[in-house]
Amino acid sequence: MKAGILLGIEQRQLVIGGLVVVLLLFPFYAKPQNTDSNYTLINEIEIDAKLITVDNLNQIYALNADNEIIKFNSNGEEVFRFNNNRLGDLTHIDASNPFNLLLYYADFSNILILDRTLNSTVQLNLFELNFTKVSAVGLANDNNVWVFDDLNFQLKKIDRKGAMIAASDNLNFALNKPIRPNFLLEREQKVFLNDPEIGILIFDFFGQFEKVLEFKNLNKFQVIGEQLLYVEQDKLHSFNLKSLLTKSIKLPKKMEENDNILVQKNRLYLIKKGRIEIYRF
């Protein structure tokens, strides 16, 4: 299994919106990229987690072996826990909005949305909404939900009561091949749907298919502004969606197999077996 995904930017001239931009850009232009002296280890959290993600407030969400989400604040202190063993294993956490945390339980095809204190505010049973199989879900920028309908090969947007808002055409016809996505996210009014065998499919915010980026064999990636970031062969790469140029980004230390990396604002999270190393840059 390949290592996970880091989020970061390395070009000063890019505009990515909000506070995140300035902080993300800093480590990659302030000093030469052939050094790792921009990073300072500031904290470690001892936890053996099955899933980990970080929101834009530097809050960490970790799924432990008991299927329990533990939320840590920006200082690495535990603040809340959430568990729902009635829905099977939790398979996806989307922390795009720290006030609307999206959880997906694929076994029972259920979506939960939690508030900032990890109290459930929305539950969607996709079986009851006539979705026979859903392989990828994600939070929309307007806090509705994107789902990929595997039976009809369509990307669909539903509201918090399950009503349809938008839908793509049948993608089997558009691509002339079956699609088997495993991950999606919405950024900058675009939806990015990942199929490891085909690449990354891009849609507009109405769910209409636009094009394919032929990055194959990815499990996850991140999009920040004009940059698409992914890990390949234990190295981080940044692909500019406009110039189509790819660059490598220096990490604080060499990644090992099954390591994962996340970045938000001025922190980099190196996720290793049994712990999370938190670096400031």
b/e map 186-199, b = 16+ CB within 10 Å: bbeeebbbbbeebb
CB atoms inside a 10 Å sphere around CB 258: 13
| Chain Cα centroid distance, residue 188 | 14
Contact (Cβ atoms closer than 8 angstroms) between residue 101 and residue 61: yes
The whole domain housing 57 covers 45-231
Contact (Cβ atoms closer than 8 angstroms) between residue 253 and residue 235: no
Over the stretch 126-178, which tens digit does the pLDDT of each residue have? 999 999 999 999 999 999 999 999 999 999 999 999 999 999 999 998 899 89
18 within domain boundaries: no
Q: Looking at the 3D structure of the chain, how many domains does it have?
A: 1
CB atoms inside a 10 Å sphere around CB 103: 26
Over the stretch 111-125, which tens digit does the pLDDT of each residue have? 999 999 999 999 999
Per-residue model confidence (pLDDT) at position 281: 85
CATH number at residue 190: 2.120.10.30
Per-residue model confidence (pLDDT) at position 29: 34
Average pLDDT over residues 87-106: 97
154 within domain boundaries: yes
35 within domain boundaries: no
Q: Cα separation of 271 and 188, whole Å?
A: 27
- pTM of the prediction? 0.83
Over the stretch 33-76, which tens digit does the pLDDT of each residue have? 434 668 999 999 999 999 999 999 999 999 999 999 999 999 99
Average pLDDT of the residues of the chain: 87
Over the stretch 188-228, which tens digit does the pLDDT of each residue have? 899 999 999 999 999 999 999 999 999 999 988 988 889 89
CB hemisphere CA count around 13 (13 angstroms) = 3
143 within domain boundaries: yes
Is residue 27's pLDDT more than 60? no
**CB under 8 Å to 4, separation ≥6 — which residues?**
219, 220, 231, 259, 260, 261, 262, 271
> Minimal CA–CA distance to 185: which of 113, 89, 92, 69?
92
Percent of the chain whose pLDDT exceeds 70: 87
Is residue 20's pLDDT more than 80? no
Per-residue model confidence (pLDDT) at position 263: 79
Is residue 269's pLDDT more than 70? yes
238 within domain boundaries: no
165 within domain boundaries: yes
228 three-class SS? strand
Percent of the chain whose pLDDT exceeds 90: 69
CA distances from 157 to 23, 31, 96, 109 (A): 32, 43, 16, 16
Contact (Cβ atoms closer than 8 angstroms) between residue 148 and residue 155: yes
13 within domain boundaries: no
63 within domain boundaries: yes
Is residue 277's pLDDT more than 90? yes
Confidence category of residue 10, pLDDT binned at 50, 70, 90: very low
Per-residue model confidence (pLDDT) at position 268: 87
Per-residue model confidence (pLDDT) at position 144: 97
Contact (Cβ atoms closer than 8 angstroms) between residue 202 and residue 168: no
Lookup: tokens for 265: 């604002």
